[in-house]
Amino acid sequence: MKGKRVVITGLGVVAPNGVGLEDFCVALKEGRSGISFDQQLADLQFSCQVSGTPPIDKENLQKYFTDLELRNFNSTGILYGVIAGLDAWQDAGLEISERADPDWESGTIFGTGTSGVEKFRESIYKIDALQTRRLGSTAVSQTMNSGISAYLGGKLGLGNQVTTNSSACTTGTESIIMAFDRIKSGKAKRILAGSTSDSGPYIWAGFDAIKVCTFKSNQQPEKASRPMSASAAGFVPGSGAGALVIEDLESALARNAKIYCEILGGNINSGGQRGGGSMTAPNSAAVKKCVQDAILEAGIKADDIDYISGHLTATAKDAAEIQNLSEALKRSGKDFPYINSLKALTGHCLSAAGSIEAVATVLQVSENFVAPNINCEDLNPEIGQFIDAACIPQKLLKADINFAAKVSFGFGDVNGCAIFKKYS
């Protein structure tokens, strides 16, 4: 059975360099960084004292949450995810209604790495102070991993699958592929897919401790995140949320929805922490298989790919990623697709990275441009062995992108690749 055609009809984003789709798109085109000096990290004596933290206007939160919900609300991840999710829903032309019955045809698959770390911290102090009864009515809903999908499910009255996935930095891309599979099989008409990540030192401390975050650009925050650069010194911690309304084409056409692009397929796999793979490093054979299997499911050829949204974290693994992609596609030099890394502008948004970067990918496909990959004026020579520098635009590039790939690789040796096509 061939299955349903699957399209994207709505986008929402809360990113360090732009909150809301319009501001985010402008930031992409301008190459505007959202990375800034983080006084809290400095006060806590982190080596890395810069971060990509979304500039949320607290006054606007009442558009998304009730006063009761906002009382003692500490989960930044849920805040980001609900804002991005509701924005995507409305961008798709769908109503946020108070209907009495669930919407059986719509669901959400919205991932996260952790939920409510700040709420956990607050709760632990209260428990230790024998104040358990003062934890509040939202302590559980803020700290359960499925809190984000539960909040979105309740606000939208979703009656189809409502769940939270988690696969480290692959989470967002995985949620898109899971939604694609459910809609293609006819089990749902639309799924709000995406992912989110909490902000702050209690999320980022572990990465600082294992020395994968940069410490060399604390006085120059906008220069700190340098994917594919010879002077890359580690990633910048970030956070936020990305959301996509993924829908059956027939349903989208029936309600005359705008269509950003089509999803042709994708693949999720793991290297099993074998063959060079580990908790923190990818198995190259698995990476290449993931990309090749995604292309196979999409029914296209490797030569069709015009653009890749890389994982590319500004660590020593960047060169290996480019080599894996080059070998998977059997394309190199000037024949390699255009590629960039959103992390140059946002830092590494961890479990939110894949979905925020997917929103950026869809915008580039639908609006025919490749966003500048800033801070890569000194291309890592190991990368230059595989692809030409012209494939990594330093400035905004107008380009007709018909086929795009979004790749993500996460701790635990897990991989994801989604294939998008310009809709026609």
pLDDT bracket for residue 118 (50, 70, 90): confident
The answer for residues whose C-beta is within 8 angstroms of residue 35's C-beta and 6 or more apart is: 16, 17, 50, 51, 52, 221, 222, 224, 225, 236, 238, 345, 346, 347
Is 355 within 8 Å of 194 (Cβ atoms)?
Answer: yes
pLDDT of the residue at 72? 76
pLDDT of the residue at 141? 85
Q: Which of 60-69, 77-86, 117-126, 348-357 has the lowest mean pLDDT?
A: 117-126
How does pLDDT run across 138-186, given as a tens digit for each residue? 888 888 999 999 999 999 999 999 999 999 999 999 999 999 999 999 9
Q: Which of 103-107, 130-134, 151-155 has the lowest mean pLDDT?
A: 130-134
Residue 1 has pLDDT above 60, yes or no: no
pLDDT bracket for residue 347 (50, 70, 90): very high
How does pLDDT run across 35-54, given as a tens digit for each residue? 999 999 999 999 999 999 99
- Both tokens of 208, joined, read 């600082």
How does pLDDT run across 283-333, given as a tens digit for each residue? 999 999 999 999 999 999 999 999 999 999 999 999 999 999 999 999 999
Q: Mean per-residue pLDDT for 269-276?
A: 97
As annotated, the residues of the chain forming the CATH 3.40.47.10 domain(s) are 6-254, 268-421
Q: Quick check: helix, strand or coil at residue 14?
A: strand
pLDDT of the residue at 122? 84
How does pLDDT run across 400-423, given as a tens digit for each residue? 999 999 999 999 999 999 999 999
pLDDT of the residue at 135? 82
Report the chain's mean pLDDT, rounded to a whole number. 96
How does pLDDT run across 49-81, given as a tens digit for each residue? 999 999 998 888 989 998 888 887 889 999 999
Q: Into which CATH architecture does domain 268-421 fall?
A: 3-Layer(aba) Sandwich (3.40)
The answer for residues whose C-beta is within 8 angstroms of residue 294's C-beta and 6 or more apart is: 265, 266, 267, 405, 417, 418, 419
- Both tokens of 261, joined, read 């692009």
Q: What global pTM score does this model have?
A: 0.97
pLDDT of the residue at 70? 86
pLDDT bracket for residue 104 (50, 70, 90): very high
Task: Report CA dihedral (6, 259, 350, 407) to the nearest 10 degrees.
Answer: 60
Stronger pLDDT, 125 or 34, i.e. the higher one: 34
Q: Mean per-residue pLDDT for 343-358?
A: 98
Alpha carbon distance 141, 345 (integer Å) = 32
Which is the CATH superfamily of the domain at 6-254?
Thiolase/Chalcone synthase (3.40.47.10)
Alpha carbon distance 287, 96 (integer Å) = 39
